[in-house]
Amino acid sequence: MTTRSAGRPRAFDRDLALREAARLFWRHGYSGTSTRTLTTALGISSSSLYAAFGTKAELFDEAVRTYALRYSAIYERAVAEPSIEHVIERLLMDSIEEFSRSEDGHPGCLTSSAVMADAPTTLDVRSYVADLQRSDEARLRARIERAVLDGDLTATTNSAALAELVQTVWQGLSVRSDLGATRDQLVGVANLALTLINQARYAPSRQSSLHQP
């Protein structure tokens, strides 16, 4: 009689664990998410949690950094579009898809939510996120400036103002999502913003602040 060997334990999925940890931090805040809650949700022991991520603060840090990079990836894909109209459209629409990810169990953007106010004082993740967002805005502005040189935008376009406007719309969509706006509502707002931006692009300079004085 042969004895069936025990099955191999399920492999640890680090990416899945980070997503689950981000969901818990989003729902309960850093202070309200205990190590026991994390280990139970991730299906691992405390020793395995510490071996994989270090302390709870270090897990929070990695979860936020990983999440923030998802938005930087959106910017990277968007600025590769052939026209500035498509750049802005893809940036806003792909961000809305990210804000609306139901499988993550939360609305909006983790890095711009109230969760960041509860970040551990031993880590400077808020500065990291702020630096990353400034870098994303600089990438967008550089793409706008290239569009001016390529003739996709008029020579009088105020690149800084247009980049800041798009960023303001982006932040507004994130906040509205945090407050419970549906995907359709966010898309409606984004479409209106895109229409107004495109109208301003071709308006005479005396009528539009998107043009240099």
pLDDT, tens digit (0-9, with 9 covering 90-100), for 64-115: 888 888 889 999 999 999 999 999 999 999 999 988 876 655 556 777 665 6
Is 155:91 a contact under the CB 8 Å cutoff?
no
pTM for the model: 0.80
Among 59-73, 98-112, 124-138, 183-197, the minimum mean pLDDT is found in 98-112
pLDDT, tens digit (0-9, with 9 covering 90-100), for 7-25: 444 457 888 888 888 888 8
Using DSSP's 3-state secondary structure scheme, residue 211 falls into: strand
Q: How far apart are CA 60 and CA 125, in angstroms?
A: 9
Tokens coding 69 = 């990079």
Could you tell me the domains of the chain?
Answer: 69-204 (1.10.357.10)
